[in-house]
Amino acid sequence: MATTCVIREVSRHVGEEVRIGCWLHNKRSSGKIQFLQLRDGSGYIQGVAVRSDLPEEVWEAAKSLTQESSLYVTGTIRAEERSKSGYEMTVTGIEIIQITEDYPITPKEHGVDFLMDHRHLWIRAPKQRAILTVRAEIIRAVQQFFDERGFALVDPPILTPSSCEGTTNLFHTKYFEEDAFLTQSGQLYMEAAAMALGKVYSFGPTFRAEKSKTRRHLIEFWMIEPEMAFVDHEENLRVQEQFVSYVVQTVLKNCRAELETLGRDVSKLEKVVAPFPRITYDDAIKFLQEQGFDIPWGEDFGAPHETAIAEKYETPVFITHYPTTIKAFYMKPDPNRPDVVLCADMIAPEGYGEIIGGSQRIDDPALMEERFREHELSTEAYQWYMDLRKYGTVPHSGFGLGLERTVAWICGLDHVRETIAFPRTLYRLYP
Ligand code: 4AD
Ligand code: MG
């Protein structure tokens, strides 16, 4: 009886007969030989079926296979220099599970809407598989980075009674008799967790009912949110640049084949090494005005502004010290200049835009009270958050990395919709 294995592990079975559960990805035939492109999720291998060496029924079974038919294939593994994976299989047996008819996604070009309607099948395509593999590797690298540096993983709630990043894009739901909202960010809860555990991070889904149909926006996206007690703005930036370099370099090391499938120019990623350049909001505005942008001090940046700034650099760049008025209520003002806050957005190269938003947080109870009044936030709803400033307040900082924008950048994709298995985009909830 042949041993069962997965395609990723065939290198351990050279010269042996193995049995693999798989799907037919594609097929070529030369009359006397059929070349079966097989995939099992773990990888790809070419199965070679030679008519003269096979019982008639196995040859006929190979001939009957259509795209995405499911089967168990048995055969001998050979090292094969000319093959991309380095191995091939000489087919000896085929057990058909199902012959697939009319598979909707053919090798020809399909429109985006068609592909999105068939996302449950589209993810089987080599490029989509490569993206999801890189995504999984990024998540592994993220967790490894923080776990190895003494951060505790904490899970903030998804159903919340109040907002973190402003009230304009909240998803509303009922929580029995009460009103509730899907979380926009776990940050406020992570601040509480940092006061309990020192250094913490979360990794979870966040939701924004944003009516933005851009290549950078999803309605549901995943965020990594570290929060650190006794850490100031400067140290916050150092953690961020170390973190992003680590993730990029780990993907480069472990996902070469996937990046090649995606046609990614890896020389660009190789340059992503800390430290990253920094530019203040003031200087960014001056630079943009010099470039002919009509943007006054005090206005937030849009995608074209971010891209123009990022184009100057080969690594991500920090834009720091934004005006207090355009940033979130919890950000700490610069003590030397209270009209700007101790914050930074990290802008990815190559036009991928903001991948991190972060800041030092207000730790002074009186200033926090004042901000609540200015932003007309209910002191009752945020009583617990005020308690963090009342009972042993300390300087602290944190940030949020958007996973999907990071995947889009590292994979070199045109749109974030391909960075997650089942994207929730504006007006699309199916499949
Ligand atoms: O800049 P944001 O809104 O920051 C926060 O939510 C902070 N509370 C995080 C923190 O300090 N703990 O979002 C953080 C990141 C952005 O830089 C971006 O990468 C991503 O989340 N992001 C989105 N990604 C995809 N689709 C959207 N609609 C996104 N909105 C933000
Ligand atoms: Mg932001």
- Ligand 1 midpoint to CA 246 (Å): 20
Structure tokens at 101: 């008819």
Using the predicted structure, report yes or no on whether residue 417 has a pLDDT greater than 90.
Answer: yes
Protein residue with least CA distance to atom 9, ligand 1: 400
Q: Average pLDDT of 99-126?
A: 96
21: exposed, middle or buried (Cβ count in 10 Å: 0-12, 13-18, 19+): middle
Q: Average pLDDT of 38-46?
A: 97
Collect residues with CB below 5 Å from ion ligand 2.
Answer: 357
pLDDT at residue 304 in the model: 96
Of ligand 1's listed atoms, the one at least distance from the Cα of 358 is 11
- Ligand 1 midpoint to CA 156 (Å): 15
**Angle, CA 134 vertex, CA 259 and CA 200 arms, to 5°:** 140
pLDDT at residue 164 in the model: 86
pLDDT at residue 212 in the model: 84
Mutate to test the pocket of ligand 1, among 154, 162, 185 (most ligand atoms within 8 A of CB): 185
142: exposed, middle or buried (Cβ count in 10 Å: 0-12, 13-18, 19+): buried
Of ligand 1's listed atoms, the one at least distance from the Cα of 346 is 17
Q: Average pLDDT of 35-63?
A: 97
Using the predicted structure, report yes or no on whether residue 165 has a pLDDT greater than 90.
Answer: no
pLDDT at residue 96 in the model: 98
* Stretch (H or E) spanning 46: strand 44-50
- Ligand 2 midpoint to CA 76 (Å): 54
Lowest mean pLDDT among 94-103, 117-126, 195-204, 374-383: 374-383
From the CA of 166, the nearest ligand is 1
Protein residue with least CA distance to atom 6, ligand 1: 185
Protein residue with least CA distance to atom 31, ligand 1: 402
pLDDT at residue 254 in the model: 98
Q: Is the pTM of this model over 0.95?
A: yes
Q: Categorize the per-residue pLDDT at 214 as very low, low, confident or very high, splitting at 50, 70 and 90.
A: very high
**Which residues does ligand 1 sit against, CB inside 6 Å?**
164-165, 185, 187, 208, 210, 217-218, 221, 223, 225, 354-358, 398-400, 402, 404-405, 416
Protein residue with least CA distance to atom 20, ligand 1: 402
pLDDT at residue 425 in the model: 95
The pLDDT > 90 percentage for the chain reads 94
- DSSP code of residue 418: G
pLDDT at residue 163 in the model: 87
Q: Categorize the per-residue pLDDT at 281 as very low, low, confident or very high, splitting at 50, 70 and 90.
A: very high
Q: Categorize the per-residue pLDDT at 403 as very low, low, confident or very high, splitting at 50, 70 and 90.
A: very high
From the CA of 356, the nearest ligand is 1
Protein residue with least CA distance to atom 7, ligand 1: 400
Strand segments (E) across 313-418: 317-320, 333-334, 337-341, 343-348, 353-360, 396-402
From the CA of 185, the nearest ligand is 1
pLDDT at residue 184 in the model: 97
Q: Average pLDDT of 264-272?
A: 98
Q: Categorize the per-residue pLDDT at 84 as very low, low, confident or very high, splitting at 50, 70 and 90.
A: confident
Q: Are 396 and 229 in contact (CB under 8 A)?
A: yes
Structure tokens at 144: 């490894």
Q: Average pLDDT of 133-140?
A: 98
Of ligand 1's listed atoms, the one at least distance from the Cα of 218 is 26
From the CA of 164, the nearest ligand is 1
Lowest mean pLDDT among 227-231, 280-284, 358-362, 425-429: 425-429
Give, rounded to a whole angstrom, the gap between the first and last alpha carbons of the chain. 40
From the CA of 358, the nearest ligand is 1
Q: Average pLDDT of 26-44?
A: 96
- DSSP code of residue 81: T
- Ligand 1 midpoint to CA 357 (Å): 6
Going along the chain from its start, the domains and CATH numbers come out as 3-98 (2.40.50.140), 119-418 (3.30.930.10)
- Ligand 1 midpoint to CA 51 (Å): 57
| C-alpha–C-alpha distance, residues 159 and 181, integer Å | 6
Checking ipTM against 0.95, whether it exceeds it is yes
The pLDDT > 70 percentage for the chain reads 100
From the CA of 183, the nearest ligand is 1
- How many helices (H) and strands (E) the chain has is answered by 13, 19
Using the predicted structure, report yes or no on whether residue 379 has a pLDDT greater than 90.
Answer: no
pLDDT at residue 383 in the model: 95
pLDDT at residue 366 in the model: 97
Mutate to test the pocket of ligand 1, among 151, 154, 223, 361 (most ligand atoms within 8 A of CB): 223
- Ligand 2 midpoint to CA 77 (Å): 51
Mutate to test the pocket of ligand 1, among 405, 415, 428 (most ligand atoms within 8 A of CB): 405
> What is the rounded average pLDDT for all residues in the chain?
97
Of ligand 1's listed atoms, the one at least distance from the Cα of 357 is 1
Query: Strand, helix or coil at 326?
Result: helix
Could you read off the pLDDT of 297-334 as tens digits, one per residue? 999 999 999 999 999 999 999 999 999 999 999 999 99
